[in-house]
Amino acid sequence: MATKILLPIDHTDERSWKLALPVALEQAKFYGAELHVVAVIPEIIQLPNLPANYGAGAKQHVQDSIAAILEHGNAGDVPVHIEEGSVYREILKLAYKDGFDLIIMASTKGDFPNYEIGPNLARVVRNAHCSVTVVRDGSR
């Protein structure tokens, strides 16, 4: 039984939420669980030719994009976490630190040998302290 569910979303890839958001909402309702969303902004490496404030608006842009996705999916009241760093590491850290007991993630097309499991999903599945539900798109 789940009490806290974490749904990672990539605001630039519809496949990360199109099928997974409805499943996560359904699971949260079924279990009476709290649903949270996390988006991870990959860490920006500061190169010498980039201005010091490069990427300054990224967090707000991602927050706004996720809010629009959730509103469209009738989930506007779901808490959102915006993290920065390695995608799979930030998902795992947040899930462990905040006591999530279920992670729901959408599969995406990967290269051999993972086919429909991208590298971040594969690492989350392998290393998570809790159960991970993979939502697959059967049309692939």
Per run of 10 residues, the mean pLDDT along the chain (length 140 residues) is 95 91 97 97 70 74 94 96 94 98 85 61 95 81
Q: Measured between alpha carbons, how far is 107 from 133 in angstroms, rounded to an integer?
A: 10
Q: Which domains does the chain have, with CATH numbers?
A: 4-45+52-135 (3.40.50.620)
- Counting Cα atoms < 13 Å in the Cβ hemisphere of 17 gives 24
Pick from 15, 39, 5: nearest CA to 116: 15
Strands of the 102-106 sheet, one edge to the other: 80-84, 34-41, 4-8, 102-106, 131-135
Per-residue model confidence (pLDDT) at position 140: 47
Q: Measured between alpha carbons, how far is 52 from 2 in angstroms, rounded to an integer?
A: 43
Three-state DSSP at 23 gives helix
Per-residue model confidence (pLDDT) at position 53: 67
